[in-house]
Amino acid sequence: MRVYAIADPHLSRMNPKPMTVFGPGWEGHPEAFFRGWREVVGPEDLVIVAGDISWAMRLPEAIPDLLDLAALPGRKVLLKGNHDYWWPSITRLRSLLPPGMYALQNDALVLDGVAVAGTRGWQYPPQTPEDERIYAREVERLRLSLKALEGKPYRHLVLAFHFPPFGPQGEETPLLEAALEAKPEAIVYGHLHGADPEKLPKSHRGVPLHLVAADALRFRPKLVLEAEYA
């Protein structure tokens, strides 16, 4: 099984929002996103969608975007981003997702021997007391996600974040430290738009770090792991 990742699709079927206002890297969106996905992902592959899935503000407005994702090849794991205001309680969301589409929140998924865990993350270093509170909560949510794997057999572990888990100079953070304790084979993150991937850290303590923001990938999900079936 191949494991891909992409973040920041920023879909908006109900209320179309042109992404080209954010730069030329978004030319052709969202068609380029769907085309790029179909070019690389097969029906048995797993794709981690690491946040900022839809611009919708309410769940009913996001449903068409979720259905568009569901119609694409492969199985999908969704993670909440900072713009996913539509995201309801996890129980309600999971009740609406079609087969082959999963959502993570304070827990983890094991599929065909591959474990996926993670959390949204937050900006680092925190700028305000509220940021400090949110960041500390995200560290705890990562620990809860990893704890959910206890007792579950798996061969591979991929950790997903929306925000980069490292600091602005690539330094280790409490979130990255907690992530590395789990010894993942790969870490994926999005959120950074217009960033030069060559200027970002490629790994930390031997663990690959993958920027998977859609515009950075030119809308083609990135292969992060080729796993044997359990």
What pLDDT does 227 receive?
85
Q: What's the average model confidence in pLDDT over 168-191?
A: 97
Determine the Cα–Cα distance for residues 141 and 116; give it in Å rounded to an integer. Answer: 14
Q: What is the three-class DSSP state of 4?
A: strand
What pLDDT does 19 receive?
87
Determine the Cα–Cα distance for residues 130 and 13; give it in Å rounded to an integer. Answer: 33
Report the length, in residues, of the chain. 230
Alpha helices, H only, the chain? 31-40, 59-70, 90-96, 129-147, 174-181
Non-local CB neighbours of 48 within 8 Å, separated by 6+ positions = 3, 4, 5, 6, 76, 77, 79, 116, 158, 160, 188, 212, 224
| Of the candidates 173, 151, 150, the residue with the CA atom closest to the CA atom of residue 163 | 173
With pLDDT > 70 as the criterion, what percentage of the chain qualifies?
99
What pLDDT does 194 receive?
80
Q: What is the pTM of this model?
A: 0.96
**Ranges 26-40, 44-58, 74-88, 189-203: which has the least confidence:** 189-203
What pLDDT does 77 receive?
98
Q: What's the average model confidence in pLDDT over 150-166?
A: 97
Strands laid side by side in the 2-6 sheet: 101-103, 75-79, 46-50, 2-6, 222-226
Q: What's the pLDDT band for 210 if we cut at 50, 70, 90?
A: very high
What is the DSSP-derived secondary structure letter of residue 100?
Answer: T
State the Cα angle at 120 between 27 and 228, rounded to 5°.
Answer: 85
User: What are φ and ψ of residue 4, in 5° steps?
Assistant: -110, 165
State the Cα angle at 193 between 130 and 84, rounded to 5°.
Answer: 50
CATH classification of the domain holding 182: 3.60.21.10
Q: What's the average model confidence in pLDDT over 140-163?
A: 97
| Token pair in block for residue 138 | 């995200």
What pLDDT does 229 receive?
59
189: containing domain: 2-226
Determine the Cα–Cα distance for residues 9 and 173; give it in Å rounded to an integer. Answer: 26
What pLDDT does 24 receive?
84
pLDDT surpassing 70 at residue 230: no
121 in Cβ contact with 172 (< 8 Å): no
pLDDT surpassing 70 at residue 204: yes
What pLDDT does 199 receive?
85
As for how many domains the chain has, the answer is 1
